[in-house]
Amino acid sequence: SQTIHQWPATLVQPVGSPLSLECTVEGTSNPNLYWYRQAAGRGLQLLFYSVGIGQISSEVPQNLSASRPQDRQFILSSKKLLLSDSGFYLCAWTERSNSPLHFGNGTRLTVT
Protein backbone atom coordinates (compact mmCIF):
# COMPACT_ATOMS: atom_id res chain seq x y z
CA SER A 1 0.00 0.00 0.00
CA GLN A 2 1.04 3.59 -0.52
CA THR A 3 2.24 5.78 2.31
CA ILE A 4 3.39 9.37 2.57
CA HIS A 5 5.88 10.61 5.12
CA GLN A 6 6.39 14.24 6.01
CA TRP A 7 8.83 15.67 8.54
CA PRO A 8 9.42 17.28 10.88
CA ALA A 9 6.02 17.43 12.57
CA THR A 10 6.76 20.75 14.24
CA LEU A 11 9.42 23.36 13.69
CA VAL A 12 10.25 26.68 15.31
CA GLN A 13 12.65 28.84 13.34
CA PRO A 14 13.86 32.45 13.72
CA VAL A 15 13.20 35.04 11.04
CA GLY A 16 15.91 34.96 8.39
CA SER A 17 16.87 31.34 8.93
CA PRO A 18 16.69 28.71 6.17
CA LEU A 19 14.01 26.07 5.84
CA SER A 20 13.90 22.55 4.50
CA LEU A 21 10.80 20.36 4.74
CA GLU A 22 10.88 16.91 3.25
CA CYS A 23 8.18 14.63 1.93
CA THR A 24 8.51 11.11 0.57
CA VAL A 25 5.98 8.74 -0.91
CA GLU A 26 6.26 4.96 -0.88
CA GLY A 27 4.45 2.27 -2.82
CA THR A 28 3.78 4.15 -6.04
CA SER A 29 5.65 5.44 -9.06
CA ASN A 30 5.49 8.76 -10.92
CA PRO A 31 3.10 10.42 -8.51
CA ASN A 32 2.03 14.04 -8.82
CA LEU A 33 3.31 15.81 -5.72
CA TYR A 34 2.00 18.94 -4.03
CA TRP A 35 2.83 21.40 -1.25
CA TYR A 36 -0.05 23.21 0.42
CA ARG A 37 -0.08 25.74 3.23
CA GLN A 38 -2.76 26.53 5.77
CA ALA A 39 -2.40 29.81 7.59
CA ALA A 40 -4.28 30.17 10.87
CA GLY A 41 -8.03 30.27 10.26
CA ARG A 42 -7.66 30.05 6.50
CA GLY A 43 -8.18 27.40 3.86
CA LEU A 44 -5.70 25.46 1.79
CA GLN A 45 -3.32 27.37 -0.44
CA LEU A 46 -1.51 25.43 -3.16
CA LEU A 47 2.15 26.45 -3.22
CA PHE A 48 3.85 24.07 -5.65
CA TYR A 49 3.13 20.97 -7.64
CA SER A 50 5.28 18.57 -9.60
CA VAL A 51 4.39 16.07 -12.31
CA GLY A 52 7.89 14.59 -12.56
CA ILE A 53 11.51 14.72 -11.45
CA GLY A 54 12.86 18.23 -11.76
CA GLN A 55 9.48 19.62 -12.88
CA ILE A 56 8.13 22.22 -10.49
CA SER A 57 5.21 24.58 -10.99
CA SER A 58 4.70 27.48 -8.63
CA GLU A 59 1.24 28.73 -7.88
CA VAL A 60 2.08 31.62 -5.60
CA PRO A 61 5.15 33.85 -5.89
CA GLN A 62 6.96 34.07 -2.56
CA ASN A 63 10.28 33.37 -0.90
CA LEU A 64 9.69 29.63 -0.89
CA SER A 65 10.94 27.13 -3.44
CA ALA A 66 10.43 23.45 -4.11
CA SER A 67 12.52 20.70 -5.61
CA ARG A 68 11.98 17.12 -6.66
CA PRO A 69 15.36 15.42 -6.76
CA GLN A 70 13.90 11.91 -6.92
CA ASP A 71 10.64 10.46 -8.20
CA ARG A 72 9.04 10.16 -4.77
CA GLN A 73 10.76 12.95 -2.89
CA PHE A 74 9.51 16.51 -2.66
CA ILE A 75 11.31 19.23 -0.73
CA LEU A 76 10.10 22.67 0.32
CA SER A 77 12.81 25.23 1.02
CA SER A 78 13.49 28.81 1.87
CA LYS A 79 16.74 30.71 2.13
CA LYS A 80 15.38 33.26 4.60
CA LEU A 81 12.14 32.77 6.47
CA LEU A 82 9.65 35.57 7.06
CA LEU A 83 7.15 35.84 9.90
CA SER A 84 4.41 35.41 7.31
CA ASP A 85 5.77 31.96 6.45
CA SER A 86 4.31 30.58 9.67
CA GLY A 87 1.61 28.03 9.05
CA PHE A 88 0.75 24.40 8.61
CA TYR A 89 2.44 22.84 5.58
CA LEU A 90 0.96 19.79 3.94
CA CYS A 91 2.48 17.51 1.35
CA ALA A 92 0.19 15.44 -0.85
CA TRP A 93 0.34 13.02 -3.76
CA THR A 94 -1.99 11.64 -6.37
CA GLU A 95 -1.94 9.41 -9.41
CA ARG A 96 -2.10 10.85 -12.91
CA SER A 97 -5.87 11.00 -13.10
CA ASN A 98 -8.77 12.62 -11.31
CA SER A 99 -8.08 10.53 -8.25
CA PRO A 100 -8.06 11.78 -4.67
CA LEU A 101 -5.18 13.57 -3.05
CA HIS A 102 -3.47 11.72 -0.23
CA PHE A 103 -2.03 13.97 2.44
CA GLY A 104 0.83 13.71 4.86
CA ASN A 105 0.37 14.60 8.51
CA GLY A 106 1.71 18.11 8.04
CA THR A 107 4.43 20.28 9.52
CA ARG A 108 3.55 23.09 11.91
CA LEU A 109 6.05 25.88 11.22
CA THR A 110 6.34 28.81 13.60
CA VAL A 111 8.65 31.64 12.59
CA THR A 112 9.66 33.79 15.54
Partner 1 sequence: AQSVTQLGSHVSVSEGALVLLRCNYSSSVPPYLFWYVQYPNQGLQLLLKYTTGATLVKGINGFEAEFKKSETSFHLTKPSAHMSDAAEYFCAVSGDNNAGNMLTFGGGTRLMVKP
Q: Are 14 and 112 in contact (CB under 8 A)?
A: yes
How many C-beta atoms surround the C-beta of residue 15 within 10 A?
Answer: 12
Q: Output the smallest distance, CB 60 to partner 1, in A.
A: 13
**Would you tell me which residues interact with partner 1 (CB under 8 A)?**
6, 32, 34, 42-44, 46, 49, 51, 57, 88, 90, 92, 94-106, 108
- Closer Cβ to partner 1, 65 or 108, answer by number: 108
- Closer Cβ to partner 1, 18 or 101, answer by number: 101
